[in-house]
């Protein structure tokens, strides 16, 4: 298959919907597998849907996800003259100034092009060979193919994949825990995990339900694969704190773990014997895991030690907390 050209064509409504991100990954992979090119096109023919900064958010999202493109971004709105010319090759405006193809409006009364026209003309002009998109666009395929033929071109091959839905089978929204890439970033999912999940889905033949449990497992694996330096940089903390971050399942949890170490706890702990023994072990120079073993051996109150050091009853491994704090700080918190 030679000269393969695909396009990813989101509307600039804000951060990429997770279902759209699936399409971006699928198009990138198809282009790569066939030695082809991917065009990034911003479908902004409907001013009512365009959000301020929406196109920039999409570019940022694709960069975060690691999905590159070979051409573009091309804004459809900047090609309105070409779209208008193409419409007049197909038909003539009516008395209101609108131009229609059958029952479909191609030009509005103010001569601005509609999505159907702009999409068909751009697919033709940019030599798109395969249109890979969600099954919700399936009804558009016949019309767009007819428009391309009316302009003397050969339509691309249309490939429609299943939609990514919420776990309850409904359209993804914030109530499902994630609707957009911005939602996932805010929840602390690393980009590698999101990309891996979308790659796993591939081109689903039928609608699929978002599997947050799988996404969380991929998140844990992605964080585990990072070096101490990279993990600390993602969380925005010194590399000395890296051991504390290792049990985290996502970056939000990692930040919470880091805060337990970097922000001194306000609570006082009433466990004088355990804390005294802890101070002795720290001053003796024992390595962190040995300190925990010795405390366990004498029946020490490990929960009290954790509370003294972090102010929380749960969190990263106690040995990791001990390893992340300087000796003077350990002794100060354990007084």
The pLDDT of residue 169 is: 86
- The token pair at 93 is 């405006």
Give dist(CA 248, CA 230) in Å, integer. Answer: 14
pLDDT in tens, 184-242: 999 999 999 999 999 999 999 999 999 999 999 999 999 999 999 999 999 999 999 99
- The Cα–Cα gap between 231 and 246 comes to 9
- What pLDDT score does 2 carry? 60
Taking the C-alpha atoms of 232, 235, 236 and 238 in order, what is their torsion angle to the nearest 10 degrees? -30
Distance CA 99, CA 91 (A): 7
Q: What are phi and psi of 148, to 5 degrees?
A: -65, -40
| Ranges under pLDDT 70 in the chain | 1-2, 176-177
Q: d(Cα 242, Cα 215) in Å, to the nearest integer?
A: 23
Kind and range of the H or E run holding 198: helix 191-201
Specify the pTM: 0.90
pLDDT, position 178:
75
What are the sequence ranges of the domains in the chain? 5-199, 228-335
Buried b (16+ CB within 10 A) or exposed e, 232-244: bebbebeeebbbb
Three-state secondary structure string covering 255-318 = HHHHHHHHCCCCCCCCCHHHHHHHHHHHHCCCCHHHHHHHHHHCCCCHHHHHHHHHCCCCCCCH
154-158 contact pairs (CB < 8 A, 24+): 155/123, 156/123, 156/128, 156/129, 156/130, 156/131, 157/129, 157/130, 157/131, 158/130, 158/131, 158/133
Return the pLDDT at 141.
98
Residue 249, token pair as written in the block: 């399942």
The correct CATH number of 5-199 out of 3.40.50.620, 3.40.50.300, 2.60.40.60, 3.40.50.720 is 3.40.50.620
pLDDT of residue 261: 93
pLDDT of residue 332: 94
Reading the block at residue 266, the tokens are 């306000």
Contact 310, 304 (CB under 8 A): no
Quote the pLDDT of residue 168. 86
The answer for residues whose C-beta is within 8 angstroms of residue 113's C-beta and 6 or more apart is 45, 76, 80, 83, 84, 87, 106, 107, 121
């Amino acid at each position: 298959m030679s000269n393969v050209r695909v396009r990813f064509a989101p509307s600039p409504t804000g951060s990429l919907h997770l279902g759209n991100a699936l399409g971006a990954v699928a198009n990138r992979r198809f282009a790569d597998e066939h030695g082809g090119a991917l065009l990034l096109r911003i479908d902004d023919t409907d001013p009512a849907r365009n959000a301020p900064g929406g196109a920039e958010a999409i570019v940022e999202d694709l960069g975060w996800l690691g999905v590159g493109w070979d051409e573009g971004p091309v804004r459809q709105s900047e090609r309105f003259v070409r779209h208008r010319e193409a419409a007049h090759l197909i038909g003539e405006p009516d008395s209101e100034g609108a131009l229609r193809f059958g029952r479909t409006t191609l030009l509005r009364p103010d001569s601005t092009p509609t999505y159907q026209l702009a999409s068909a003309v751009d697919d033709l002009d940019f030599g798109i060979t395969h249109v890979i998109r969600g099954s919700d666009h399936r009804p558009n395929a016949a019309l767009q193919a007819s428009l391309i033929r009316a302009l003397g071109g050969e339509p691309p091959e249309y490939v429609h994949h299943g939609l990514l839905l919420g776990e309850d089978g409904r359209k993804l929204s914030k109530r499902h825990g994630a609707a957009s890439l911005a939602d996932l970033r805010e929840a602390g999912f690393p980009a590698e995990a999101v990309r891996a999940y979308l790659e796993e889905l591939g081109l689903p033949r039928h609608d699929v339900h978002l599997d947050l449990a799988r996404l969380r497992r991929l998140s844990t694996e992605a964080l585990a694969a990072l070096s101490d330096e990279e993990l600390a940089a993602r969380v925005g903390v010194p590399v000395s704190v890296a051991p504390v971050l290792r049990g985290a399942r996502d970056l939000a949890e990692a930040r919470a773990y880091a805060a337990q170490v970097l922000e001194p706890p306000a609570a006082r702990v009433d466990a004088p014997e355990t804390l005294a023994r802890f101070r002795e072990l720290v001053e003796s120079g024992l390595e962190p895991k040995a300190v925990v073993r010795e405390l366990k051996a004498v029946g020490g109150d490990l929960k009290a030690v954790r509370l003294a050091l972090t102010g929380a009853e749960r969190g990263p491994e106690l040995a990791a907390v001990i390893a992340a704090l300087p000796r003077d700080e350990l002794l100060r918190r354990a007084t």
